[in-house]
């Protein structure tokens, strides 16, 4: 039986955007990567970092198309997208799916070869799931956040715990399946 909160579960999770194995994603057939900005690529309301520029250069060298998807205004997102040499969607309305669909259209990708990376369940991950694309939940870069985000984080904790338990159950099933196959 599926958990009612599973619509908020990411496809997978990682400690940081900067620790994701993008080469492996490319080998698996992904060609487009969409990112949330604040606390996913850079700290909240901060400019692009050298680290982010280096990551996006690597992604483009690997052959990925990239797009920033944000609920922010264009004044926030456009300068970042320009420095990162990528597409962008501002006022995306996350978790509504139209921003994700617009991002895929801009990259000329589809839901089968696109992945979304973000740090929040109720906007980033839920929206990606609604759009039918794979998602990776990352831990936020900065610990200091605006009060409305802090409140969301409190609500996210029990759902993340459910996700972790669900993930562990799947791993246990896989392990026992492999044991049966070896016999």
What's the rounded Cα separation, in Å, for the pair 171 and 169?
5
pLDDT at 123: 94
pLDDT digits (tens, 9 = 90+) for 93-126: 999 999 999 999 999 999 999 999 999 999 999 9
pLDDT at 180: 53
Count structural domains, the chain: 1
> pLDDT tier at 77 (50, 70, 90 boundaries)?
very high
Whether residue 2 lies inside any domain: the answer is: no
pLDDT digits (tens, 9 = 90+) for 127-138: 999 999 999 999
Whether residue 89 lies inside any domain: the answer is: yes
What's the rounded Cα separation, in Å, for the pair 104 and 107?
5
pLDDT of 3 above 70: no
Q: Provide the β-strand partners of residue 12.
A: 136
Residue in 34, 41, 37, 33 with CA at minimum distance from that of residue 17: 41
Whether residue 98 lies inside any domain: the answer is: yes
Whether residue 72 lies inside any domain: the answer is: yes
pLDDT digits (tens, 9 = 90+) for 136-167: 999 999 877 677 777 777 888 878 888 888 87
Whether residue 113 lies inside any domain: the answer is: yes
Collapsed DSSP state (helix, strand, coil) of residue 55? helix
pLDDT at 1: 44
- Tell me the CATH number at 42: 3.40.50.1000
51: domain range?
A: 9-144
């Amino acid at each position: 039986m599926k958990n009612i909160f599973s619509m908020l579960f990411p496809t997978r999770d990682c400690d940081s955007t900067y620790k994701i194995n993008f080469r492996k994603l490319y080998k698996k057939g992904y060609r487009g990567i969409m990112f949330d900005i604040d606390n996913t690529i850079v700290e909240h309301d901060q400019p692009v970092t050298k680290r982010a520029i280096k990551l996006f250069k690597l992604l483009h060298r690997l052959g990925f198309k990239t797009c920033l998807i944000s609920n922010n205004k264009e004044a926030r997102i456009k300068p970042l997208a320009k420095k990162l040499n990528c597409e962008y969607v501002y006022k995306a309305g996350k978790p509504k799916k139209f921003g994700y669909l617009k991002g895929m259209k801009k990259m000329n990708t589809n839901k089968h070869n696109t992945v979304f990376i973000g740090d929040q369940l109720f906007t980033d991950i839920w929206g990606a799931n609604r759009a039918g694309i794979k998602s990776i939940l990352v831990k936020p870069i900065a610990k200091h956040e605006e009060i409305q985000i802090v409140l969301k984080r409190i609500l996210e904790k029990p759902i993340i715990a459910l996700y972790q338990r669900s993930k562990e159950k799947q791993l246990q099933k896989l392990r026992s399946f492999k044991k049966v196959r070896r016999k």
